[in-house]
């Protein structure tokens, strides 16, 4: 349902939220999120242009969140790299439908509306604070580490 670009962007901002406010290099973010560095650089650039991230060159520089994790929503991140597109008129271009969506496209748009609302209401801080039994993809500083499951 979501592009790889969105997945990578979300991984990167969750990592940055975990280490906030310390700036990170593209290499550090790529290593911690297991995202190819060259592709990640393009994703980070998109988020910088959209105002989600800031980038500073030089010693002590790097990439950091513009907002605090409590203020940045998942929807802002998603829309910075691959915006959710609601269905406002018939995607088939049928003149008879116009803005009156058929039952199928009305349901699809309803599902998109639910996702959009959930992402609008979810901050990065909530993602980091949510208890979980899952082993995180990244070893985030300050979070308890869960030992790996025994092999069978």
Q: How far apart are CA 74 and CA 121, in angstroms?
A: 8
What's the CATH fold of domain 4-129? Answer: Arc Repressor Mutant, subunit A (1.10.10)
In the chain, domain spans: 4-129
Of all residues in the chain, the percent with pLDDT exceeding 70 is: 88
Q: What is the pLDDT of residues 21-76, one digit of tens each?
A: 899 999 999 999 999 999 999 999 999 999 999 999 888 889 999 999 999 999 99
Average pLDDT, the chain: 87
Q: How far apart are CA 64 and CA 56, in angstroms?
A: 9
Model confidence band, residue 137 (pLDDT cutoffs 50, 70, 90): low
Q: How far apart are CA 48 and CA 55, in angstroms?
A: 7
State yes or no: pLDDT of 149 exceeds 50. Answer: no
**Cβ contact 75:115 at 8 Å:** no
pTM of the model: 0.82
pLDDT attached to residue 25: 95
| Residue that wins the pLDDT comparison between 103 and 143 | 103
pLDDT attached to residue 141: 54
List the one residue out of 88, 118, 119, 85 whose CA is nearest residue 105.
88
Q: What is the pLDDT of residues 72-98, one digit of tens each?
A: 999 999 999 999 999 888 778 777 777
Max distance between CA atoms of the chain, in angstroms, equals 61
């Amino acid at each position: 349902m979501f592009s790889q670009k969105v997945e990578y962007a979300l991984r990167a901002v969750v990592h940055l939220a975990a280490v906030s406010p310390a700036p990170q290099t593209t290499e550090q973010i790529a290593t911690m999120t297991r995202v190819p560095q060259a592709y990640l650089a393009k994703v980070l650039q998109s988020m910088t242009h959209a105002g989600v991230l800031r980038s500073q060159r030089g010693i002590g520089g790097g990439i950091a969140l513009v907002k605090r994790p409590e203020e940045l929503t998942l929807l802002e991140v998603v829309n910075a790299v691959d915006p959710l597109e609601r269905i406002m008129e018939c995607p088939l271009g049928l003149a008879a439908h116009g803005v009156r969506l058929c039952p199928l496209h009305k349901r699809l748009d309803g599902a998109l509306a639910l996702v959009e609302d959930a992402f609008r209401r979810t901050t990065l801080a909530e993602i980091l604070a949510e208890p979980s039994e899952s082993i995180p993809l990244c070893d985030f500083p300050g979070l308890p580490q869960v030992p790996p499951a025994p092999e069978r």
